[in-house]
Structure 1
């Protein structure tokens, strides 16, 4: 597939991403700031927290990881904008992943800010981050991997791979639940929430019609595509949800996209078209692998035969799990479209639909 490169809104921010550095705190436009908050031991390097000026303080979109370094970076960025952490009145969280939700509780402890999340993700907070629920979630993930055909020797390692980052979230239940289409009560802003499930069941984007900007979270990024995977906390067909969510934002009348990673960019509709085409290409590749196997193939075996950004042998365990579960999301979509067939078992086997007789 021919590569489509979006036009960056700020070339310095783009150059920082490409150069492996962290961009500067930036005044995006009047009343709006971008603050990069570092992510430890992660190729994404930082999450872009957006600071929205209010008459009596600020609200922020996303928060960053719960680390001292991240907290200090966010506090420093607020100072550049002329504010203090105690001025934060609200935290609009696009979704519950640690780099977006992790610091929200700590910010609330400091400032008394409310935390807002979509009900779809709010329902998952306890199982994901409460100490007493973690073992059950890991066991459910292990069951997914067993049915995917993950080798016995690596099952436990992959099932618990995300536990190493769990401590980077300050366990905090949201104060507000934000529904699809809801207009946020933020003086001076006309933000409307758009429910965009796929990357997570309750992912939210926020659009400002007057400013013609979209805060896209992880839903639409400039260069990479978000992980859309089947796992214990996903919907039954997350790729279908994601593609529908892309269609929901494609025709928005916006001039600029403000994502949570990489850099700000233009050309929302063209970027959405490219991402949709990417997934269509991946679906075709998976369908061919299943057809070539003939008598049935596990999800894990399919994943090992796909084209990734690096050789399979060099992908670390956590990302191998993500690759497997993302492959499973594509297989599930193909199954719903009756293009492949699943034979349940341990592991499930996948066959071309033509073999279903």
Structure 2
């Protein structure tokens, strides 16, 4: 809750600690985007005040090795892991398939009980995260994967079947989103109709980005139009 967040930040401050944030997720850049998509002033102010700790980035180690789709990673005893490029949840996301057992390590791509977060995070790097995610899921469906180890939750016995369920969820969500833009609406307006109303501000940030990923896919598919009205972006279903 918002009160819980305030208590947390206050307690951390008493210990000389602070929350460190990714600059693409919080701070002025995201606050400006939230404003442009209809977020109210108090919410924009909250997002803007979530500043990035200046000493955050040195904590992230550079990659030791990069891989590409189709690469194999030897793991000993004649076994290897096949790299399957699966952008969507994150543009650099990969799954790994054990060449001997066929087991799939799906990371955040296929989860057992929830649908992975697919937000409109960085349009310059990935202007269509949801479209990429659904195409990546289709690769898992087509691969007829069985036992799947996700990054969160229980083992999935039929990875391809679960991937198909997630695709269907987003197809339904796209249809629901279309229903909310018969008349021009901001992403914030659509989010308020699609998601439950009692979200805290942290989850509203995620919900807004998820809503944008659906709206932007509809625009790219020519199922919706995007235009500026009164200084805010509005979306409307194509007729």
Offset from partner CA, 1:43-96 (integer Å, 9 cap, x none): xxxxxxxxxxxxxxxxxxxxxxxxxxxxxxxxxxxxxxxxxxxxxxxxxxxxxx
**2:131 aligns with one of 240, 254, 261:** 240
TM-score when normalising by structure 1:
0.56
Displacement, 1:209? 2.7
Contact 2:27 2:47 in 1 (8 A): no
**Hey, what does 1:156 align to over in structure 2?**
45
Whole-Å Cα distance in 2 between the matches of residues 328 and 254 of structure 1? 30
Check conservation: 1:141, 1:232, Cα contact below 8 A: no
Cα drift, residue 348 of structure 1: 0.2
Aligned to 1:74: none
Q: Distance in 2 between matches of 1:222 and 1:160?
A: 35
In structure 2, the partner of 1:302 is 190
Cα shift at 1:149: 0.9
Q: Where does residue 270 of structure 1 map in the other structure?
A: 161
1:195 corresponds to which of 60, 79, 85: 85
* Superposition TM-score, scaled by structure 2 size: 0.82
> CA RMSD for the aligned pairs?
2.6
Q: Per-residue deviation at 1:318?
A: 1.1
CA distance in 1, matches of 2:228, 2:205: 20
Cα deviations across residues 120-157 of structure 1 (Å, max 9, x unaligned)? xxxxxxxx86xxxx499733222321221111111132
* Deviation by residue 1:318-348 (Cα, 9 ceiling, x = unmatched): 1101101100000001111111100035310
Query: For residues 304 and 274 of structure 1, what CA distance do their matches in structure 2 show?
Result: 24
State how far apart, in whole Å, the 1-side matches of 2:64 and 2:109 are: 23
Matched with 1:256 is 147
Q: Which residues of 2 match residues 80-99 of structure 1 at below 5 A?
A: none
In the alignment of these two chains, the number of paired residues is 216
Question: What is the 5 A alignment of 1:115-126?
Answer: none
Q: Secondary structure at the match of 2:226?
A: strand
Flag structure 2 segments of 5+ consecutive residues without an equivalent.
5-20
For 1:135 and 1:255, the matched residues in 2 are separated by: 35
Residue number among 227, 230, 233 corresponding to 1:343 in the alignment: 227
Match of residue 327 from structure 1: 211
Q: State the partner residue of 1:36.
A: none
Looking at structure 2, the residues matched to 136 and 323 of structure 1 have their Cα atoms a distance apart, in angstroms, of 12
Per-residue CA distance 1:103-122 (angstroms, 9 max, x = gap): xxxxxxxxxxxxxxxxxxxx
Equivalents in 2 of 1:159, 1:320: separation in Å? 14
The aligned counterpart of 2:11 is none
Which residue in 1 is equivalent to 2:12? none
8 A Cα contact 1:220 1:272, kept in partner: yes
Is contact 2:26–2:48 with CA below 8 Å preserved after alignment? no
Unaligned runs of 5+ in 1: 1-40, 42-127
- Deviation at 1:252? 2.3
1:271 and 1:262 map into 2 onto residues whose CA distance is 13
Q: SS of 2:148's equivalent?
A: strand
